[in-house]
A and B are shown apart, each in its own frame.
Chain A
């Protein structure tokens, strides 16, 4: 068990002291867009798209400043204000800008800017476009709060904020029942995970008297092994909820009901990776408990295969990409569970994935846009000619995700596979199999969408997207190509001090046996995909009796499982409570009333209206009172 060395934050200077603007700008813009109402319809989208660009510029300036700082001073604490002050405890709201959080801020604002700009074109015909941009800005502000927080409570506020934004945006077209239900499902599933984060924060406060990352990291080695495991598992539960990992993965596929830019930004590039961020941020706890770290790795592996399985079976292009997201985040979780050897690669893969998956989601959005909002790949085909720019950029994302040499995903994924072999051969081999399946289902997606004969529905004429949608695609495609090369040799050293990662030597082209085997596995996946999906594809989903196909199409029966295990017993419990209320509680109340009514009915008969009876009763009473007084005196 190694003790994790992390940086102690220093006070902020220069441009770093305005880090709070990163959060304030999007939130202020969101407020303006929501308050001005229809008056802002004409310019709301422009203001909305300007916010992430401004935030990106600030993040870039701060990144450059951190680059210039000596490594020991790269964790910077930015006090914002004192929230509460008591005799023995002061609660400060302050931000933490360190190598990890600034990378996240760059990813969120950078990819965010491109997706916001793309949305201007994508949502052009939607009457609620201004509100869409307001919600996107709420998301941006909350996400930046999440990554810039210097303690678990502020992180939790951001965590809930992105959950709210996700809910609002999945259900953006709330007139569709399916979208409204999907939003509710995402929100409720996330609540299960949020409980884990809350309980972990409470436990930290009880154990250490503080929830700030610096204090927790410093005090963690003193806690017992049992507490470390418990905290680790609670944080893992939170990460599972937010990152759609097994067993809380059910919401992600339904989340595709939202507009496609939302799927790209929130449900692929940024928000769903918050779970990985949480695990990496809490490495101090996971290094103390091998059990918790192992649980993270196992959850990651399960999610790799669950996502890939679903990706192989679905015909809806967005759901294939959602399954793929789940699977790729599984790789990140696996890396995060490998301890200091893997955390840097988890973040590396997170960054490259953010670029190539956003690229592919936006590409899928452009395809849908051109095909009359159809998402069924069985109605696509031959789009390589119809939409050359979309095809070209999508192909770059495809090459990146399957791990084609020199593309972004090649570096990040291979490093994770290497690190997994360091943990145990089972982890490594399973990760390689996952890479092969990834290659297969992505090839399937490419073949069904862009190649083969046209299977378009009658009346659909693919049209090309405008420049406002193509330019972000091109930039993201460039990122998918060179992102890995640029970050490969640098990111480990950059992150090593902040999160306690080990620095392993890396090469531009790995020539180890593992690297060759991985490439071979990927090639097998591609060849298999081409061979199978070169054949004619039916326009309707054929009925299948294959268990694997049906399980994949039904999202591994997770919904049925949840309904049988949680929903129906819950409903029965509620029914039982309702019956108890109606018959036991109401019965007691009504019974008491009936009793009082009957008794008073009998007593009432004494009031018979005869004055002389009253007189007699009064006399009797007076005699009794007199007798008692006299007898009392005598006694």
Chain B
């Protein structure tokens, strides 16, 4: 099994997530893109862990999953609250916090 394929897949996933985060205005899509980037990182870590024969990368991937789960809880709650008050899920509309 060639690890290069996994790394390339991880890079592709990261680029898709990054691209989605920067071009989509819907807060939910942007949120999904962030999750995609996290998983791309997880995939890279697991791959490197396999290459080096250690468990560090896999443990780190677990931590990322746990944190991501917590983040989803908080993030979705925020998005729903904003949607309720402003009737919009567009990230460009939520620009009150500025200079």
Contact = CB atoms under 8 A, between A and B. Distances in A.
B15 to A, nearest CB: 10
Interface in B42-99: 91-92, 94-99
Interface in A196-244: none
Interface string A604-627: 111111111001100100000000
A366 B22 CA distance: 104
Interface string B1-40: 0000000000000000010011101000010000000000
A616 B96 contact: no
Given A615-B22, A619-B22, A608 B98 contact: yes
A608 B97 CA distance: 8
A610 B95 contact: yes
B86 to A, nearest CB: 14
Contacts of A606: 99
B99 A611 contact: no
Contact of A610 (B18, B23, B92): B92
For chain A, give the interface size range.
10 to 19
A603 to B, nearest CB: 9
B69 to A, nearest CB: 22
B99 A604 contact: yes
B77 to A, nearest CB: 17
A619 B23 CA distance: 13
A436 B59 CA distance: 115
Given A619-B18, A619-B22, A612 B91 contact: yes
Contacts of B95: 608-610
Nearest to A603: B99
Contacts of A616: 22
B79 to A, nearest CB: 12
Contact of A609 (B18, B22, B96): B96
Interface in A568-615: 604-612, 615
B25 to A, nearest CB: 8
Contacts of A619: 18, 22
B90 to A, nearest CB: 10
Contacts of B97: 609
Given A615-B21, A615-B22, A619-B22, A609 B98 contact: yes
B18 A607 contact: no
A611 B90 CA distance: 10
A616 B95 CA distance: 16
B94 A605 contact: no
A619 B17 CA distance: 12
Nearest to B23: A612
Nearest to B91: A611
Nearest to A610: B95
A607 B97 CA distance: 8
A216 to B, nearest CB: 75
Given A612-B91, A612-B92, A607 B21 contact: no
A96 to B, nearest CB: 79
A616 B30 CA distance: 13
Nearest to A612: B22
A172 B96 CA distance: 71
Contacts of A608: 95, 98-99
A607 B91 contact: no
A609 B18 CA distance: 19
B22 A607 contact: no
B72 to A, nearest CB: 17
B98 A607 contact: yes
Given A615-B21, A616-B22, A619-B22, A607 B99 contact: yes
Nearest to B96: A609
B11 to A, nearest CB: 12
Contacts of A605: 99
Contact of A611 (B18, B23, B94): B94
B30 A611 contact: yes
A235 to B, nearest CB: 72
A69 B96 CA distance: 101
Contacts of A607: 98-99
A605 B21 CA distance: 22
Contacts of B23: 612
Contacts of B91: 610-612
Contacts of A604: 99
Contacts of A611: 30, 91, 94
A228 B60 CA distance: 87
Contacts of A610: 91-92, 95
A619 B18 CA distance: 8
A615 B99 CA distance: 17
Contacts of A615: 21-22
Contacts of B18: 619
A605 to B, nearest CB: 6
A611 B25 CA distance: 10
A612 B91 CA distance: 8
Contacts of B92: 610, 612
Nearest to A605: B99
A608 B25 CA distance: 16
A346 B21 CA distance: 103
Interface string A367-390: 000000000000000000000000
A612 B27 CA distance: 10
A606 B98 CA distance: 9
A467 to B, nearest CB: 91
Contacts of B22: 612, 615-616, 619
Contacts of A609: 94-99
Given A611-B91, A612-B22, A612-B30, 6 more contacts: A606-B99, A607-B99, A608-B95, A609-B97, A611-B30, A619-B18
11 contacts: A608-B95, A608-B98, A608-B99, A609-B95, A609-B96, A609-B97, A609-B99, A610-B95, A612-B25, A612-B92, A616-B22
The 5 closest A-B pairs by CB, nearest first: A609-B98, A609-B95, A604-B99, A611-B91, A607-B99
